[in-house]
């Protein structure tokens, strides 16, 4: 059984989106940061749609998206029951309606259905999977940080397969990953996805990208698009206006993922 997150002395309370979202999270282990907010900014969701976040942790990305898009149906999926309790607490504390559930992303289709996530259910899946290769990175002694960060080699395939199963035809998958392993992302999305859009995230001008934000449409056959990148800091180390815009809770990019001007999925 997990500890009661509302009364733990091991928590910090941190402000996101220029103070419009406050999250409790553990002092040690994996902590939400810019990646979660960037992921939320990249999801082209609308009111009334069903959004599912895989590996939600304390709920940072999903709740940041819910702060921008009112009236959406949000489910937060996390394997750690203590983090699920904390995510539910964070949702309530921010007056956001969300459902946090304990579920292994690698579980069977039947287990997903039993948890209220049957096939062809969601309009959007968003995810920030563990992306440090276990054979190339020294594992953290903290179990939570280790689970959140280490990729055992099958993570992308397992998570993208689960996303493909629960997304509606024409539904959108949005994820954040290491820029130097974009090829792995594109390989995983070859099965059942198209209309892939890639946004590179650069720490400063003229620096190589450190992250990629990737969006893809279930069942589409539209070609890959490389969109304008996002630079986080200028040469003096100050946040760029574009980064400030995103970190304050606004959407990244002006065109919906894989959709035409008519709003229908591209063929």
- pLDDT digit string (tens) for 44-94? 999 999 999 999 999 999 999 999 999 999 999 999 999 999 999 999 999
Its pTM stands at 0.87
pLDDT band at 138 (very low <50, low <70, confident <90, very high): very low
How far, in Å, are 41, 60, 62, 104, 175 from residue 45 at the CA level? 10, 16, 11, 24, 14
> Which tokens belong to 38?
């960037």
Whether pLDDT at 170 is above 60? yes
Q: Annotate 65-124 with DSSP letters as a single string.
A: HHHHSTT-EEEEEES-HHHHHHHHHHHHHTT---EEEE--TTS-HHHHHHTT--TT-EEE
Distance between CA 127 and CA 86 in Å, rounded?
18
Radius of gyration of the chain, Cα coordinates, nearest whole angstrom: 17
Distance between CA 129 and CA 146 in Å, rounded?
12
Q: What confidence score (pLDDT) does residue 256 get?
A: 55
Mean pLDDT of 84-111: 98
Distance between CA 146 and CA 93 in Å, rounded?
27
Q: What confidence score (pLDDT) does residue 9 get?
A: 77
């Amino acid at each position: 059984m997990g500890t009661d997150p509302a009364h733990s002395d091991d928590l910090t309370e941190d402000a996101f989106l220029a103070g419009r979202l406050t999250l409790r999270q553990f002092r040690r282990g994996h902590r939400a940061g810019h990646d979660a907010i960037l992921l939320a900014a990249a999801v082209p969701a609308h009111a009334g749609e069903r959004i599912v976040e895989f590996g939600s942790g304390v709920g940072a990305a999903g709740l940041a998206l819910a702060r921008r898009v009112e009236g959406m149906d949000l489910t937060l999926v996390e394997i750690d029951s203590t983090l699920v309790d904390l995510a539910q607490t964070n949702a309530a504390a921010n007056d956001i309606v969300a459902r946090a559930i304990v579920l292994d992303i690698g579980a069977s289709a039947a287990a997903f259905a039993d948890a209220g996530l049957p096939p062809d259910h969601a309009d959007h899946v968003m995810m920030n999977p563990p992306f440090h290769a276990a054979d190339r990175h020294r594992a953290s002694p903290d179990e939570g940080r280790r689970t959140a960060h280490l990729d055992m080699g099958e993570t992308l395939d397992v998570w993208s397969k689960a996303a493909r199963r629960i997304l509606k035809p024409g539904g959108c998958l949005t994820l954040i990953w290491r820029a130097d392993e974009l090829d792995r992302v594109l390989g995983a999305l070859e099965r059942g996805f198209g209309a892939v859009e890639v946004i590179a995230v650069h720490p400063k001008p003229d620096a190589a990208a450190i992250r990629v934000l990737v969006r893809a449409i279930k069942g589409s056959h539209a070609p890959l698009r490389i969109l304008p990148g996002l630079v986080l800091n200028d040469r003096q180390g100050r946040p760029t206006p574009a980064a400030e815009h995103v970190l304050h809770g606004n959407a990244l990019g002006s065109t919906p993922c894989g959709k035409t001007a008519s709003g229908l999925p591209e063929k």
